[in-house]
Amino acid sequence: MKILVTGGAGFIASHLVDELARKGHTIIVVDSLIEGHLSNIQSVIDSSVCKFIQADIRDKTFMLEKLSPVELVYHFAADPDVRNSVPNPMSSYDHNMNGTITVLEYMRKHNIKRMVFASSGGTVYGEVETQPIYENVPFSPISPYGASKAAAEMYLSAYAHAYQMKIASVRFANIFGERSLHGVGWDFYHHLRENPRELTILGDGTQQKSYLHVSDTINAVLLVADNLLKQTRAYEYFNVGSESWYSVDEIAAIFEKEMGLDNVTHHYTGGSKGWVGDVARMLLSIEKLEKLGYKPQVPYPEGVHRYVSWMEQLGK
């Protein structure tokens, strides 16, 4: 197929581009490179199966007049910074809402019928008392980022029904792994490399969330995409995560063990959350996705091993 991947030079989407190339598809990547890195997909570009266009999905002239039609869209382009969305809420709104609607208008103009959308698990649901969280839990975001993803999903539903599209959202847990340049694992590794004796932990260390290695994430995304042809409803949504969750203290211990460190002193900033807008507890139910044949393959400690090995090779 001819496939468009927005944000395809970013962390998660670049792994998707790799897999789509391996499967023999022709790929167009549109990425502004505000967050993405061309090096993530350079080898695929060099192989001539991927055309890269540096452009912003908010640019209506480009999206509606210059971008050629495709058969399937993976919409991953976004402002991904949850924490920064609190002091800068308009950035999340502009990228995640205006950008998404422009992509939908591109699809409507060219009669493109299928899309997979990269949404967010913890941030759209907000603070939920009962864990795990099922897909039918009402949205109650506590950050502007979460609100922008939730609102985007509403437009996806509207366009899918109004214009006979088949769209599915994948609501991610905390995704980590090679090519990720932010998040708790990235921070812990670099802080510990700078000072192997002490580590500052945001909050009180008891925040507990589910984490998923990027390789399992891509497997889930492809399952959802394959299911679009059989999808009975115009708009669907799936949690993408694992069956386990870890506290921040447990994550610190796993990284310290992987880095060969003992007796690290922890300092806590205090409070039940890491920052304003942080969801302190999040475990996504993956029962719905499992019905498509999904099963995570990479245990969290193994994922940390792969991630740390990559960061060591990266030398950053």
User: CA 65, 70, 74: angle at the middle one, nearest 5?
Assistant: 105
Residue type, 118: A
Q: Which domains does the chain have, with CATH numbers?
A: 2-175+211-240 (3.40.50.720), 180-210+244-282+298-314 (3.90.25.10)
pLDDT higher than 80, residue 31: yes
Average pLDDT over residues 218-223: 98
pLDDT at 215 (0 to 100) = 98
Give the span between the Cα atoms of 28 and 48, in whole angstroms: 11
Asked if residue 245 lies in contact with residue 210, where contact means CB atoms within 8 angstroms, the answer is yes
Give the span between the Cα atoms of 308 and 110, in whole angstroms: 43
**pTM reported for the whole predicted model:** 0.96
211 annotated active-site? no
pLDDT higher than 80, residue 316: no
Give the span between the Cα atoms of 169 and 149, in whole angstroms: 10
pLDDT at 222 (0 to 100) = 98
**Helix or strand (DSSP H, E) at 150:** helix 144-162
- Percent of the chain residues topping a pLDDT of 90: 96
pLDDT at 74 (0 to 100) = 98
Q: Could you report the per-residue pLDDT of 146-163, keeping only the tens digit for each?
A: 999 999 999 999 999 999
Q: Could you report the per-residue pLDDT of 37-94, keeping only the tens digit for each?
A: 999 999 999 998 999 999 999 999 999 999 999 999 999 999 999 999 999 999 999 9
Give the span between the Cα atoms of 198 and 67, in whole angstroms: 50
Name the residue among 256, 211, 193 with its Cα closest to residue 121.
211
Q: State the sign of the Cα–Cα–Cα–Cα dihedral 153, 155, 160, 166.
A: negative
Catalytic residue among 145, 235, 246, 300: 145
DSSP 176: E
Q: Could you report the per-residue pLDDT of 167-211, keeping only the tens digit for each?
A: 999 999 999 999 999 999 999 999 999 999 999 999 999 999 999
Asked if residue 149 lies in contact with residue 97, where contact means CB atoms within 8 angstroms, the answer is no
**Residue recorded with tokens 């991610």:** 172
